[in-house]
Structure 1
């Protein structure tokens, strides 16, 4: 899936990933079904979506995976300060599951984590 033109542009990619998930479930992100999700939850689910979209493009997937890990770590460490609602917890759970699935697969194939380093 080509959201981000080459060379890699994190701003364009992140905007495209957020727009994609927002367009897929606008009622959740607009807050029509309750409290709108926190931006950290939106970032996490957008990045998780990107893991699947760029599954076979390691040059794109690995930075997305790193960013998702960073977002999830931030929420684990400081989530109590974000006043997260039920939609946030749902989105974060989905993002965490996606991150875990990809990491588990990468651990099964140690060369996958090396990406384009060609070691």
Structure 2
């Protein structure tokens, strides 16, 4: 990947990074989390993106809405912390995911969402509801 591709790739992630950063910043402000929210948000979004880059960069169809990307990145963080057995961090990420999904629910009918967005948001909702493992419709690990 040359430098111009990397810049474009990172620019594609910025809206989702901003959304996750804001949710994490709120948790820092409330005393639930410590650290640099932007750095942590970048780690979460980049991790999800790396699992299925063709999905996020549009090579498999339309690019997902930033809200859907942010939701699945937080959901993946919840799932990973569950696997690691870090219940406190899993709970913090679940709070951030819940706040984001609540925001999406308030605006869902007015958002320009398409099929992949719906699948990503539904998968994130399943994680929020505790269905963390073995979801055969996991859009990060299976073709959409």
By the TM > 0.5 criterion, same fold? yes
Deviation, 1:60, is 1.9
Q: Which residue of 1 aligns with 2:78?
A: 51
Q: Which residue of 1 aligns with 2:124?
A: 95
User: Secondary structure, in 3 states, of the residue corresponding to 2:47?
Assistant: helix
| Aligned equivalents of 1:35, 1:92: Cα separation in 2 | 15
User: Secondary structure, in 3 states, of the residue corresponding to 2:61?
Assistant: coil
Residues 16-55 of structure 1: matches in 2 within 5 Å?
A: 16-55=43-82
| Native 8 Å contact 1:8 1:60 kept in 2 | no
| Native 8 Å contact 1:30 1:36 kept in 2 | yes
| Aligned equivalents of 1:14, 1:53: Cα separation in 2 | 15
| Native 8 Å contact 1:38 1:82 kept in 2 | no
Q: Structure 1-normalised TM-score?
A: 0.74
Give deviations 1:40-63, integer Å, cap 9, x for gaps: 100110000001211222332222
| Aligned equivalents of 2:36, 2:95: Cα separation in 1 | 15
How many residue pairs end up in the alignment?
Answer: 98
| Aligned equivalents of 1:57, 1:7: Cα separation in 2 | 15
Deviation, 1:7, is 4.9
Deviation, 1:71, is 1.0
| Native 8 Å contact 1:17 1:50 kept in 2 | yes
| Aligned equivalents of 1:38, 1:79: Cα separation in 2 | 12
